[in-house]
Chain A
Amino acid sequence: MDRHRDPLSARAWRAVGYGVPLAFLAFFFVFPLAEIVRRGLGSGGGESPWSVLTDSDTRQVLWFTVWQAVASTALTILVAFPAAYVLGRYEFRGRSAVRALVTVPFVLPTVVVALAFLAILPEGLQRGWAAILIAHAFFNVAVVVRVVGTFWARLDPRVSEAAATLGAGPWRRFREVTLPLLAPALSSAAAIVFLFSFTSFGIVLILGGPAYATLETEIYNQAVRVFDLRAAAVLSLVQLTCVALAVLATTRLEARLAIRGQLRSERDVLRRARTLGEKLVVLASLGGLALFLGLPLAALVERSLAVGGGHSLAAYRALTKPTAALLATPWEAVLNSLVYATGATVIAVVVGGLAAFAIARSSRWSTRLFDGLLMLPLGASAVMLGFGFVITFDRAPVDFRSAPWIVPVAQALVAIPFVVRIVVPTLRAIDERQREAAALLGAPPRRVWREIDLPIALRALAVAAGFAFAISLGEFGATVFLARPDRPTLPVAIFRFLGRPGELNAAEAYALAVVLMVVTAVSVFLVERIRVRRLGWF
C-alpha cells in the first residue's frame, strides 16, 4: 500500500511529526542541558569532574537513589495490586469515581504530600527511608491502579477459564496465564513508578532530611545551597545517564511484551461481585486503599481548618486578601495556575500528539530512539529543567526570564512524555484492517488517516490533555525557578506560605492545597467522562 501514497505530502507530514517535537526538545531541553554541562565542566574553578564522580558521598547518594526507587516501586505495586484487580474484574457503582479519586494524590504537589505524611506519621517514622517509601507509594498508587486495572479490565476472561478447564487452579491460573498477560501493563506501570521515585524531589527533600539524599535533592543542594555548579552538573549527567538506561530498557521490554488484538471491551469482561467472598474482596481492597489515600488527605483538610485553637474557614477567607508571603493575593495564584496549565496543555498536546503519530507509524530503530528521546525530560527532573532554564534563557537574544510563556513551556516539557505514552498505544492498537477497509471503500491515504486514525486519536488526546493539565497544575520543581514573584502558581504559593512562620500561613498553605486538590479532581473527573471505554490505558 505504501507505494501508492502520495510521497511528497507523506514526507512533509513525517517532517512535521519528527521536526516540531525535535526542534522543541532541542531548544527547550537539550540547549539548557548543554548550558548546565558547559558551566559545570568548562574551564575554571572548583574540583575536577572526576573527583565528584568518584567521591564516596556521590556513591552513597547513587546507591540510595537506586534502592529507594526499586523499593518504592515494589511497595507501590504491592499496595495498588488489590485495587487494580478489583477495577480489572468487577463492575460496581461508583467505579469511574474510584478511578478519578485514586488519581488525586498523583497530581498533588509533592511538597503537600510530604507535609501530609509529616502530619500523619508517628513521631519516630516522620523522617527517614520508611517515610519516603510510604509517601512514594501514596503518590504513585494511581499509576499502577489505572494502568494495570484498565488493562486487566480488557483481558479476555475466557483465556483464564480455558486454563481452568485444563486443570489449572486459581494460583496457577494467576501465575501462568493472568500474570504473563498483564506483564506489558505491569512493566510499563513499574517503569513509570521507578522513574518518578528515582527523580522524586519534594518528598525526599522534606521526609529524607540531610541524612537521606538522592541525586535529585543533591543536585538542588549543590546548585542552590552550596552553589557548586560543577558538582550539580556532574550529578545531573549521572542522573540523566541512569534514566536514559532505564528508559531504553523499558522501551525494549514494552516492545517485546506488546500484545495486539487480544483485548476485549470492558463491557464484555467486567461483572458484578456475586458471592459474599467476592463482595468482601471488593470492599476490603477499595476500603483499604481509601484509608491509605484518604487519611493523609483528610489530615490536609483538617490542617486547612485549624486556626486559632479551633476549626474555621478563616484561612479560606484570607485567600482573597494580600499577604506578606506573596506579591499577589493567593486567589490570583489560583488564576495564574489555571492560565499557565491551559497554555502548557495546548503545547504538550500539539508537540506530544505530533510525535505520537510519527512514533505509532513505524517501528524502525530511529523511531524508537526518537521515542526514548521524548521520554528524557521525565528523567531529567523538574529541578534540572528549571535550573537549566534560569541559567540559559537569561541573556539576549534568548532572555525569556519574564516571558509569560516560559512557565507553560517548562510545564509542557514535563507533560509531553505522558501525552506520548497515552496516545501511542491507542494508535498502535488500531486494527490495520480498519485502514484497509476504509481504503477499499474509496478513501485515499490522507482521508484514511482523517477518518480512522484521527477520530480514535482525538479521544486519546482528550485524555492526554486532561492529564497534561493536571500535571501542569501541580508542577513544582521547574515552576519554582521560573514563576515571577508577582505571578506565583498554586504550588509555588503553597511553598512560600510554608516557608513562613505562623498558624495562619500554614493554614492558608493547606487551604490552597485543598483548592488545588479540588481543581485537579474536577479536571480528572471530566476526562473520565469523555474517555473511551475501549481505548487508551489511562
Chain B
Amino acid sequence: MLQVEHVTVRFDGRTALDDVTLDVGDGEVVTVLGPSGSGKTTLLRVIAGLQRPDQGRVVLDGRDLASVPPHRRGIGLVFQDHALFHHRDVAGNVAFGLRMRNEPAAAIGRRVRDMLELVGLSGFEDRSVATLSGGEQQRVALARALAPGPRVLLLDEPLGSLDRRLRDRLLDDLARLFAEVQVTAIYVTHDQAEAFALGDRVAVMRTGRLVQVGTPDAIWAQPADADLAHFLGLRNVRDGSVVRPEAVLVRVGGGDGNGVVLAAIRQGPTVRLVVSLDSGETLEALVTSLEHPEPGDRVSVEIDPAGIVELP
C-alpha cells in the first residue's frame, strides 16, 4: 500500500537517508528502530511530505506522492513532543483536521467525542492543552492525528518524553488501539521493547540505512550482523556467530569447572550471568531459576549447539 523507494536525503553533504526502500502493507504496523541520529525522523518527514527527498519516491496506493503537498496526502503524524496547538483547547485540537475538510459541526462534535473516548480522555473537550500532563498531551496528539481517518499514521517517538511506567501503560493502550482502528502505521522509536511490542514488522535503521526488516521473531532469530546482534542485547559474539544467552548452560560445582562468575544481575524473572572462562573468553548466560550462582562461584559452562546463530 505504501512504498518508499530508494529514498536518499542529504543535509549539507551529510547523508541523512541512504537509499531507503520500505514496503508497508494495508493495516500493517511497521516500527522503525534505531539510535538517535539514524535518520528515522527524516524518513517520516519524507513520507509526510515535509521533507523533499533528493532521490527516490514515495508511493501511496499506487500513486507517486512527489507532487502532492502535505495537506493533501491524507497522512497523519504524531510529532515528537506533540506540537499541540496551544491557542486551542483539547476539542479544538482534535477537531482541526475535520474542520479542514469542512465537515458539518455536528459530525465534528461526534467524531471528537469518539476520538477522545478512544484515547481515554472523555470529558476533556474544554480543557486547555497547557494544563494537561505529558501522557494526556500524548493522547490528544494521537486523537488529533487519528480524527480525520488518515490512510497512514506516522508516529515519531511518541512516548519518548514520558516516564517509564507511563510509557509501559501507553504502550499497551497503543497496541490495543492499533488493533481496534486497524490503522496502517509507521512507528519510530529508539526503544527495542517498544519496537518489538508494537510492530508487525520491525525495520532496523543505522546511519541512514535500513539494516534489516522482518518480524520481531525473525530479527531475533537471525540478526543481520554483529552490530545488530549487539544492539539487541546479544553480547556473545564470536567467530562470525552469536551464542544466545539461553543456550549457555551454567552448573555450579561438579568437578573443577571451566570458568568463574563475574556478575549476576536479576532482570525480572530471569538472571543474567556474566562468566569469565579459563580460556579468557567472557560469555553471558540467562537462567530462570530462583537459585543461581553468585559472583566468585566456580562453574562449568556448556553451550547448546542449537543456540548458535551463524551471522551472514
Contact with B along A434-448 (1 / 0, CB 8 A): 101111111111011
Contact with A along B181-216 (1 / 0, CB 8 A): 000000000000000000000000000000000000
* Nearest-Cβ distance from residue B291 to partner chain A, whole angstroms: 42
Interface centre among A441, A444, A445 (most CB of B within 10 A): A441
User: What is the distance, in angstroms, from A472's C-beta to the closest C-beta of chain B?
Assistant: 28
Complex contacts, A439 vs chain B, CB 8 Å: 50, 69-71
Question: Of residues 264 to 284 in B, which have CB atoms within 8 Å of A's CB atoms?
Answer: none
* Complex-state Cα separation, A181 to B144, whole angstroms: 34
Once the chains bind, are B79 and A433 in contact (CB under 8 Å)? yes
Provide the bound-state CA to CA distance between A84 and B48, in Å: 44
Q: Is A456 an interface residue (CB 8 A)?
A: yes
Tell me which of B22-30, B96-104, B243-251, B297-305 binds A.
B96-104
A444 touches B71 (CB 8 A): yes
**How many Å lie between the Cα of A265 and that of B101 in the bound state?**
32
Q: Using a CB-CB cutoff of 8 Å, which residues 356-393 of chain A contact chain B?
A: none
Q: What's the Cα separation between A452 and B96 when bound, in Å?
A: 11
Could you tell me if B87 and A1 are in contact, using CB atoms closer than 8 angstroms?
A: no
What 0/1 readout, one digit per residue, does chain B (121-161) give for beta carbons within 8 Å of chain A? 00000000010000000000000110010000000000000
Contact assessment for B148 and A441 in the assembled complex, using a CB-CB cutoff below 8 Å: yes
B75 at the A/B interface (Cβ < 8 Å)?
yes
Least CB separation from B73: chain A residue: A440
Q: How far is the CA of A451 from the CA of B98 in the complex (A)?
A: 13
- Knowing A1-B50, A3-B52, A444-B71, the reply to whether A437 touches B85 (Cβ < 8 A) is yes
- Beta-carbon contact of B85 and A443 below 8 Å: no
B75 and A442 contacting across the interface, CB-CB below 8 Å: no
Which residues of the partner chain A approach B101 to less than 8 Å between Cβ atoms?
442
Q: How far is the CB of A450 from chain B (nearest CB, A)?
A: 11
What residues of chain A lie closer than 8 Å to B130, measured between beta carbons? 265, 267, 534
B87 engages A456 (CB within 8 Å): yes
Chain B residues near A440: list those with CB within 8 A: 48-50, 70-71, 73, 75-77, 145
What's the Cα separation between A400 and B27 when bound, in Å?
71
Would you call A434 and B83 a contact (CB within 8 A)? yes
A434 contacts which chain B residues (CB < 8 A)?
83, 85
Contacts of A3 in B (CB 8 A): 52
When distances are taken between beta carbons in the complex, the residues of chain A under 8 Å from B86 are: 534
Contact with A along B40-73 (1 / 0, CB 8 A): 0000000011101000000000000000011111
Asked whether, in the complex, the Cβ of B96 is within 8 Å of the Cβ of A451, the reply is: yes
Distance between B209 CB and nearest chain A CB, rounded to angstroms: 25
The answer to whether residues A442 and B100 also contact, given A4-B69, A436-B50, A534-B86 and a CB cut-off of 8 A, is yes
Contact of B100 among A265, A441, A534 (CB under 8 A): A441
A176 located at the interface, meaning its Cβ lies under 8 Å from any Cβ of chain B in the complex = no
In Å, the complex CA distance between A267 and B96 comes to 26
Q: How far is B85's CA from A442's CA once the two chains are assembled, in angstroms? A: 15
Bitwise interface map of A from 173 to 198 toward B, beta carbon under 8 Å scored 1, else 0: 00000000000000000000000000
In the bound complex, do residue B83 and residue A431 qualify as a contact, i.e. CB atoms below 8 Å apart? yes
Tell yes or no: A210 within 8 A of B by CB: no
Is A455 close to B, CB under 8 A?
A: yes
B83 touches A443 (CB 8 A): no
Contacts of A1 in B (CB 8 A): 49-50, 69-70
Interface size in chain A (residues, C-beta < 8 A) = 25
Residue in chain B with minimal CB distance to A437: B83
Expressed in whole angstroms, the Cα–Cα distance for A440 and B85 within the complex equals 13
From residue 438 to 484 of chain A, which have CB atoms closer than 8 A to chain B? 438-445, 447-448, 451-452, 455-456
In contact, A455 and B83 (Cβ under 8 angstroms) = no
B100: chain A residues within 8 A (beta carbon): 438, 441-443, 447
Query: In the assembled complex, how far is the CB of residue A9 from the closest CB belonging to chain B, in whole angstroms?
Result: 14
Most chain A CB neighbours (cut-off 10 Å) among B71, B73, B86: B71
- B52 x A437 contact (CB < 8 A): no
Q: How far is the CA of A455 from the CA of B86 in the complex (A)?
A: 11
Which residue of chain A has its CB nearest to the CB of B154? A440
What residues of B have a CB within 8 angstroms of the CB of A442 in the complex?
Answer: 71-72, 74, 97, 100-101, 148
User: B residues within 8 A CB of A265?
Assistant: 130
* Chain B residue with Cβ nearest A455: B87
With both beta carbons as reference points, the residue of chain B lying nearest to A2 in the complex is identified as B52
Question: Which residues of B have CB within 8 Å of A438?
Answer: 71, 85, 96, 100
How far apart are A405's CB and chain B's nearest CB, in angstroms?
35
Give Cα A107–Cα B79 distance, bound, in whole angstroms. Answer: 44
Interface string of B205-237 (1 = CB under 8 A from A): 000000000000000000000000000000000
A431 vs chain B, min Cβ distance (A): 6
List residues 517-536 of chain A with CB under 8 A from any CB of chain B: 534
Give chain A nearest CB distance to B304 CB in angstroms. 49
Interface core residue of B70, B76, B79 (most chain A CB under 10 Å): B70
Contact with A along B97-120 (1 / 0, CB 8 A): 100110000000000000000000
Q: How far is the CB of B80 from chain A (nearest CB, A)?
A: 9
Contact B85 A452 (CB under 8 A): yes
Q: Which residues of B contact A436 (CB under 8 A)?
A: 48, 50, 70, 77, 79, 83
User: From residue 1 to 56 of chain A, which have CB atoms closer than 8 A to chain B?
Assistant: 1, 3-4
The interface residues of chain A lying within 8 Å CB-to-CB of B71 are: 438-445, 447-448
CB closest residue in chain B, given A431: B83
Complex CA gap A534/B128 in Å reads: 13
- Separation of A488 and B48 alpha carbons in the complex (Å): 60
In the assembled complex, which residues on chain A have CB atoms less than 8 Å from the CB atom of B83? 431, 433-434, 436-437
Residue numbers in A under 8 Å from B52 (CB-CB): 3
Q: What is the chain B residue whose CB lies nearest that of A435?
A: B83
For the complex, give the distance between the alpha carbons of A438 and B93 in Å: 10
**Contact check: which of A437, A455, A456, A534 meets B79 at CB < 8 Å?**
A437
CA distance A251 to B114 in the complex (A): 49
- From residue A15, how far is it (CB to closest CB) to chain B in Å? 23
A408-440 Cβ-contact flags toward B at 8 Å (1 or 0) = 000000000000000000000001011011111
User: A1-B49, A442-B101, A445-B69 known; 5 other A-B pairs, CB under 8 Å?
Assistant: A440-B71, A442-B100, A444-B71, A456-B87, A534-B86
**B→A interface (CB under 8 Å):** 48-50, 52, 69-77, 79, 83, 85-87, 96-97, 100-101, 130, 144-145, 148
**9 A–B contacts, CB within 8 A, in A order:** A1-B69, A1-B70, A437-B77, A439-B50, A440-B76, A441-B76, A441-B145, A441-B148, A443-B100
Q: Nearest 8 pairs between A and B by C-beta?
A: A4-B69, A441-B97, A442-B100, A433-B83, A439-B70, A439-B71, A437-B83, A443-B100
